[in-house]
Amino acid sequence: MRITVFDIQAMKESGQRIAMLTAYDHPSAALAERAEVPMLLVGDSLGMVVHGADTTLPVTLDDMIRHARAVVRGSSRALVVADLPFLTYATEGDAIASARRVMQEAGVQALKLEGGISIAPTVRRLTELGVPVMGHLGLTPQAQHTLGLRVQARQAEAARRLVEDALALQDAGAFALVLELVPAPLAAAVTRRLRIPVIGIGAGAGCDGQVQVWHDLLGLFPGKSPRHAKRYADIGTAIEEALRAYVGDVRSGAFPTVAQSSGMDPEELSRALGG
């Protein structure tokens, strides 16, 4: 049985912190599942970390569906949440059509939408129609050209608006909220103010849970991870070393050996070659 939005709510109520992680394909979902990650996010960050784009804006519904379907197939217990991509929920009609495709074609259990008061009516409508919605405030990368890529809501007026946005999403029926790059004291205050779970990324330790991007957590990028990320492994270096060893073995003839090859009766070979 999969974890439900009610289980996630119960985790907040019992004070159990929630670990969420992005996953983009079958093997990452299966590994996260073995590590008992309760909530997986098929984030539109896949446009950047998997497809090499500069922003999340080029990600399409088809991209999301293909990756989300693989994550659903690779997991059996985790609650799988998928992002609706840039401008696929600009109107209520668009949101319903996009939600229908991602829920039906990928089989995810919930969707994440970026934005506050302005999208609250859409969140309400989707929730009424049976779509669990996770909100996303603070740095919302789909709006990076208007917001900039920096910590949000540092000043009182912007912080007040963020609290209003969070309350509006909760009132509209959102089951949880992501806060990205928000000052820790503000994120902690929002977490205390809301009934629904607040999942932080670069928002300090006072949230109900944390979400991290797979590649940041595992060191799959060359160079430094973002400041808000913690590297739990250096898999990128391990992969590079393994690939160098493979290239070296092919060049030197050390791979393959008889262990990786199949034999043939010499007579059969000679008959085949007309000898």
Can you say which residues are annotated as belonging to the binding site for 3-methyl-2-oxobutanoate? 44-45, 83, 112
Measured at CB, which residue is nearest to ligand KIV? 43
| 201 belongs to the binding site for ligand KIV (CB under 6 A) | yes
Q: Which is nearer to ligand KIV, 206 or 255 (CB)?
A: 206
Size of the site for ligand KIV (CB under 6 A): 11
Nearest to 142 by CA among 85, 91, 98: 85
210 close to 229: Cβ distance less than 8 angstroms: no
Q: Enter the tokens of residue 181.
A: 């790059």
Say which residues have a Cβ less than 8 Å from residue 245's Cβ, sequence separation at least 6. none
Q: Is residue 32 a contact residue for ligand KIV (CB under 6 A)? A: no
For position 83 contacting ligand KIV by CB under 6 A, the verdict is yes
Q: Which stretch binds ligand KIV (CB under 6 A): 23-31, 38-46, 123-131, 184-192?
A: 38-46
To the nearest whole angstrom, how small is the minimum distance from the Cβ of residue 41 to ligand KIV?
Answer: 6
Q: Is 110 left (phi over 0), alpha (psi -120 to 50) or beta?
A: beta
Query: How far apart, in whole angstroms, are the C-alpha atoms of residue 28 and residue 243?
Result: 20
Told to check if 180 binds ligand KIV by CB under 6 A, we report: yes
Annotated catalytic residue, options 36, 180, 241, 268: 180
Look at strands 133-138 and 198-201 and give their pairing. unpaired
> Toward ligand KIV, which CB reaches closer, 43 or 209?
43
Choose, by CB under 6 A, the member of 25, 37, 40, 45 that binds ligand KIV. 45
User: Both tokens of residue 210?
Assistant: 């944390």
Please report how close the Cβ of residue 215 comes to ligand KIV at its closest, in angstroms. 10
Binding residues for Mg(2+): 44, 83, 114
Report the 3 state secondary structure along 87-125.
Answer: CCCCCHHHHHHHHHHHHHHHCCCEEEEEECHHHHHHHHH
Residue 22 touches ligand KIV, criterion: CB under 6 A: yes
Q: Which candidate, 12, 26, 142, places its Cα nearest to that of 84?
A: 142
To the nearest whole angstrom, how small is the minimum distance from the Cβ of residue 201 to ligand KIV? 5
Shortest distance, position 16 Cβ to ligand KIV, whole Å: 20
Dihedral of the alpha carbons of 223, 178, 161, 114, in degrees to the nearest 10? 90
Specify the length of the chain in residues: 275
Q: Work out whether 178 is an interface residue with ligand KIV (CB under 6 A).
A: yes
- The yes or no reply on residue 200 touching ligand KIV (CB under 6 A) is no
Among 71, 103, 166, 213, binds ligand KIV (CB under 6 A): 213
Do 99 and 59 touch, CB atoms closer than 8 A?
no
Catalytic-residue membership of 13: no
Tokens of 229: 């990320």
Stretch that binds ligand KIV, among 43-51, 71-79, 94-102, 115-123 (CB under 6 A): 43-51
| CA distance linking residue 73 with residue 98, whole number of Å | 20
Site for ligand KIV, rule CB under 6 A: 22, 41, 43-45, 83, 178, 180, 201, 211, 213
Query: Annotated active-site positions, please?
Result: 180
